[in-house]
Structure 1
Amino acid sequence: MKLLVDLPSQTMTLRDAEGAVVRRYRVSTALNGPGEYKDSGCTPRGRHRIRARIGGGLPIRSVFVGRRPTGEIWSEALSTAQPARDWILSRILWLSGLEPGCNRLGEVDSMQRYIYIHGTPDSEPMGEPRSHGCIRMRNRDVLELFELVDTATQVDIQ
């Protein structure tokens, strides 16, 4: 399996070993556009792999902070009470860059920047850049994807 994130179209495509399309998803990447530097709020480009899969077995819309479940389940009421919170929901696929100097090591390290593929409130639009650098997905989509990939899955962000 291999994932391709296309920044201009705000889509992510899952392909099998032969290159056939398995799934295609609408996503939301960084509002600040593409970029690799720490604290840029940008989505890093290049070759990555899934470093860790976090949240298996938890309920849909489970809330994470620091890659740990808080015990909360996202709701409109919770969102209204905390409007400035950057919601990381349902599952986390933590990315690690594979290209030293581009997205790995030093000031451009995607893993140290905590770049994830993760769920977001379903009220958030897909298909337009809105994140703080991560790749946001609909909750049902990230649950499905989580079951289809493993920690060896390559993720190309272009």
Structure 2
Amino acid sequence: MNSSPDTKDFSILIDKCLDLSTTPTPISLTVSIARQALDLYQDGALRKSFVISTSKNPPSCVENSLGTPNGLHEIVDLIGEGEPRGTVFRGRVSTGKLYWEESEEEQQKNLITTRILRLRGLEDGINSGPGVDTYDRYVYIHGTNHEDQLGHPASAGCVLLSNRDMEELFNAVDLGSKVMICA
């Protein structure tokens, strides 16, 4: 997969913000499902690219599809500040355990680790509203205990990063930061 940044995705983010009469944010993210990459922009300039994993299933906004939703989103919750790297979350609450302290059976799963950026879709009928709502589907950007799978589709709909990268990204974004997910 090509991991070099694609500024076309950032242009799509800007155009979609204008279409929806919403303001682009100083810190913006683009997620490329094709490249398995998340690009962090600050004031329109690419600041950093991260290797990610999106869904094993095809991209989809449909409830229960286990696909990564496309379209324009915003970050509505920043969860996990101050928790140790590798902390496991269930129901968006720290378990107090690090992923390697979990049972072998639990470690086989894609655990939600380190930090959580909760997303809300901004496009009615696409990724917001009944049957397609990103927020109601609990789609996040978060750390993973399976960093060896990054760069390949491996999630159940979320966007996964290494735990180190997740800490860095968490510290760079703001509530309300726009996120454009592109196929």
TM-score, normalised on structure 1? Answer: 0.95
Per chain length, whose mean CA-contact separation is higher, i.e. which structure has more relative contact order (CA < 8 Å, sep 6+)? 1
Give distance in 1, aligned partners of 2:147 and 2:154: 12
Alignment of 1:123-134 (within 5 A): 123-134=147-158
Give percent identity, aligned residues only: 39
3-state SS in 1 of match to 2:148: coil
Match of 1:66 in 2: 91
CA distance in 1, matches of 2:96, 2:176: 28
Matches within 5 A, 1:29-108: 29-75=54-100, 78=102, 80-108=104-132
More helix by share: 2
Q: Count how many residue pairs are aligned between Structure 1 and Structure 2.
A: 156
The match for 1:3 is 29
Contact kept? 2:116, 2:143, Cα under 8 Å: yes
Unaligned runs of 5+ in 2: 1-26
After superposition, the CA RMSD in angstroms is 1.2
The residue type equivalent to 1:69 in the other structure is S
- Please say which structure displays the higher CA radius of gyration: 2
Structure 1 residue 16, shift from structure 2 partner: 1.0
SS for the counterpart of 1:114 is coil
- Alpha-carbon distance in structure 2 between the residues aligned to 1:85 and 1:10: 20
